[in-house]
Structure 1
Amino acid sequence: MLFTPGPTAVAPEVREAMAKPQPNSAVQSEFTDLYDQLCENLQAVYGTDHDVIVPGGEGILGLEAAIASLVAPGDRVLCISNGIYGDGFADFVVDYGGEANLVSAPYDAGYDLDAIEDTLAAAAEAGEPLGLATLVHCETPTGTLNDLSPVLDLLEEYDVLSVVDAVSSLGGTPIPTDRIDICLGASQKCFSAPPGLTTAAVSDRAWEAMEHREPTSLYTNLLPWRDTTDGFPYTHLNANVAALAEAVSQVRTEGVENAYDRHERAAERCRQRGRELGLSTYPDEKRASPTVTAFHVPGEAERIQQRVESDHDIILATSLGDLADDILRVGHMGYNADTEKVDRVMDAVGDVIA
């Protein structure tokens, strides 16, 4: 039983859609129709009128491609972070020749709004305004859901483009997509489709900014995906597109708000069961994501993970980096946002702890 926060367990209907004979993405209109319908359904899940594109490549492609498409050498970028993926954005900025202005907060805290405002104000006063900001909605390694609205207020005040990693939240909790210039998702998280596809909701401002950048590559350039009327930039992953189309269609059929409620119920059940076992979340529950619960078990995460798998055939995740052995993660997202499944998982965790 796979219960990790991505890649997630895949529903039978999604596996079946992927296994069917697929049209040739280069020459058959059936594939283009399927792709266009997928993008339309994704707009509904994103809750936006922005263009939505689905490039071929695992979710990290989207993070790198957003930077490659918007950052030219010498550009100054505000990288807002309280986790590993927030820090990773700064690395991408440097890789593409930009200057990363990193504003960090502790991994168990929210964003430092005062420091963000001070950085934006100082740059503007110096005549070197920051043109782009990166931030993460759900920091999966710590189960942290960041409140984007106060940060987006500041970015709008200073006329700064925004790139948001919503890979682990899209489809599981509301996102203020219409206020974001590039909002990134992926197939293998809350949609519970196989890994292999990036999703991106792109504003007109972001497209315009891309048009003024000299492209550095094809594969990490989002601009060619703006208009696929005459074909795709490269051979698309047709089976993956079929799988994601089925998964997103299921979310539309369920109702996006109903899907959000289902994730909230699964998260609350998981944390209730955790409290009964004496487990605390990392961070506190007010900042915990409805898509993944990170239990703080210092020095015990790997042992519990291994015992849950060997004794109960359930696969959980630990964290990353310095917190790898301090956090046990339960991925109640997508197909696994189900209270009965959560109970089975937490029964196993309780047995191992006992």
Structure 2
Amino acid sequence: MAERAGVPRMSDDRLRMTPGPTEVPAAVRERMSEPTPNPDVEPAFFEFYRDLTAKLEAIYGDDDIAILGGEGILGLEAAVASLVEPGDRVLCIANGLYGEGFADFVDMAGGEAVVCDAPWRDPLDRERVEALLADESFDVATLVHCETPTGTVNDIEPILDALEEHGVISVVDAVSSLGGTPVPTDRIDVCLGASQKCFSAPPGLTVCSISDRAWEKIESFETDSLYTDLEPWRDAAADEWFPYTHLASNLYGLDAATDLLCEEGLESVFERHEDAAARCRERAADLGLSLYPDEATPSPTVTALEVGESATALQRTLAENHDIVLATGLGDLEDDILRIGHMGHNARVDRVDRTMDALATVLE
């Protein structure tokens, strides 16, 4: 295959073990190459969309499913924009970058964000959450299931218990965990996922489940936004009208990716992620590398390793000399953390071994 002038061809052998976007399987790429109908006017497309959301219910549960045309961050902003009206009080429960970032969306929506934050190395502060809920009134609460920047999976069920007890609507960012490890979706009012993580489809789609209680709040007021308003999506497929032209090829890819997950079976998918994560942690220990933050809360989908101040250099050397792409940390941890994504199609022990063999060579 010839290269276009100035555009280098990506290596077919390059292994991208990043915590999203993940490698896209051949079946997904092939499906995306099919001719697509006009998503605005052809009834066949709306039927396809209804079938796809029905398939996603096998992963999510029984709540209504909406698929938005935009990368996963769109889901975080849309959930807040659709649920928070000016003056609403929102409890932002955080122990990482994305948990803290919810407060920015609350401010944009005119709400009052109360951030219950914990250090990035610590679990979510359950006791402080319960104390705040006992003393103050909140309309909505936000939290993150898997904080990708630190490779941490949070135990969110006790917090969901407290939110339910106080009648607070829950918004959970499960972008890096949905489809790779169990998520208590039946306990969550708005649960957010994305195509480019454990689904192993290209970036470009947000998937979310929305409870009846959340719909009631969403429909109680009008937002100042079109693109981030969830309300039109409740009846979009039934009415055969989308608020904007949908990403037809991306939806085809997500459909193929969902088929792969369902054919393998969720329990087998979860076990595959656990096996890949365990091998990654085992190999890291053999290399004398410590997990960030510790061994108590590592994610089955991404492993964060402490590498001093050499993450960027290691990332560059692995890409240039071994054709393996990893991620560094984010924010203040950019050069201290090397992150290995074993999620979606890449959650395979042989791919972890290839990655860790290369890392061992570089470290030596």
TM-score, normalization: structure 1? 0.97
Q: Could you say which residue in structure 1 is the equivalent of 2:324?
A: 314
Q: How far is the alpha carbon of 1:119 from its aligned partner?
A: 1.0
Which of the numbers 29, 40, 43 marks the counterpart of 2:54? Answer: 40
Residue in structure 1 matched with residue 44 of structure 2 by the alignment: 30
Equivalent in the alignment of 2:282: 272
Q: Which stretches of structure 1, 4 residues or longer, exceed 6 Å deviation after superposition?
A: none
Q: Which residue does the alignment assign to 1:136? A: 144
User: SS where residue 299 of structure 2 aligns?
Assistant: coil
C-alpha distance in 2 between matches for 1:72 and 1:232: 23
**Secondary structure, counterpart of 2:68 in structure 1:** coil
> After the TM superposition, which residues 180-199 of structure 1 pair with which residues of structure 2 at under 5 Å, given as runs?
180-199=188-207
Question: 1:26 offset after TM fit, Å?
Answer: 1.2
Alignment match, 2:182 = 174
What secondary structure does 1:200 align onto? strand
**Gaps (5+ residues) in structure 1?**
124-128
Range that drifts further, 191-200 or 224-233:
224-233
C-alpha contact 1:34 1:245 (8 A) present in aligned 2: no
What are the Cα deviations for residues 115-152 of structure 1, in whole angstroms up to 9, with x where unaligned? Answer: 111111111xxxxx101100000000000000011100
| Alpha-carbon displacement from aligned partner over 1:206-250 (angstroms, at most 9, x marks no partner) | 000011122211100011111122221110000000000000110
In the alignment, the residues of structure 2 paired with residue 113 and residue 292 of structure 1 have an alpha-carbon distance, to the nearest angstrom, of 24
Q: How big is each residue's C-alpha offset from its partner over 1:161-190, in whole Å with a ceiling of 9 and x where there is no partner? A: 000000000000001111100000000000
Q: What secondary structure is seen at the aligned counterpart in 1 of 2:208? A: strand
Q: State which drifts further: 20-29 or 172-181.
A: 20-29
Count, aligned residues:
348
Between the aligned partners of 2:154 and 2:273, the Cα distance in structure 1 is 17
Q: Secondary structure at the match of 2:269?
A: helix
Q: Aligned with 1:286: secondary structure?
A: coil
Cα deviation for residue 30 of structure 1 reads 2.2
Aligned to 1:99: 112
1:113 aligns with 2:129: no
SS of equivalent residue, structure 2 residue 325: coil
Spell out the pairing of 1:9-158 with structure 2 (5 A cutoff): 9-46=23-60, 48-123=61-136, 129-158=137-166
Q: Given that residues 17 and 341 in structure 2 are in contact (C-alpha distance below 8 angstroms), is that contact kept between their aligned partners in structure 1?
A: yes
Q: Is the 8 A contact 2:85 2:223 kept in 1?
A: no
How many Å apart are 1:41 and its aligned residue? 1.3
Q: AA paired with 1:175? A: V
Letter of the 1:202 partner, please give it: I
Alignment of 1:160-309 (within 5 A): 160-228=168-236, 229-230=238-239, 231-309=241-319
| Aligned-partner residue type, residue 108 of structure 2 | D
Unaligned runs of 5+ in 2: 1-14
User: Structure 1 stretch 249-258 or stretch 212-221: which is displaced more?
Assistant: 212-221
SS of structure 1 residue aligned to 2:209: strand
Contact 2:92 2:115 in 1 (8 A): yes
CA displacement, residues 233-272 of structure 1 (integer Å, 9 cap, x when unaligned): 1100000000000001100000011100100000001111
Amino-acid identity (%)? 59
Amino acid of the residue matched to residue 232 of structure 1?
Answer: F
CA distance in structure 1 between the aligned counterparts of 2:352 and 2:43, rounded to whole angstroms: 42
What amino acid sits opposite 2:29 in the alignment?
R
| CA displacement at 1:159 relative to structure 2 | 0.8
Q: Report the Cα offset of residue 285 of structure 1.
A: 2.3
Between the aligned partners of 2:296 and 2:201, the Cα distance in structure 1 is 29
TM-score under structure 2 length normalisation: 0.94
Displacement of 1:156 after TM fit?
A: 1.0
Give yes or no for contact 1:55–1:198 (8 Å, CA) kept in 2: yes
Whole-angstrom distance in 1 between the partners of 2:279 and 2:231: 42
The residue type paired with residue 17 of structure 2 is F
* C-alpha distance in 2 between matches for 1:45 and 1:327: 31
Q: Is the 8 A contact 1:71 1:213 kept in 2?
A: no
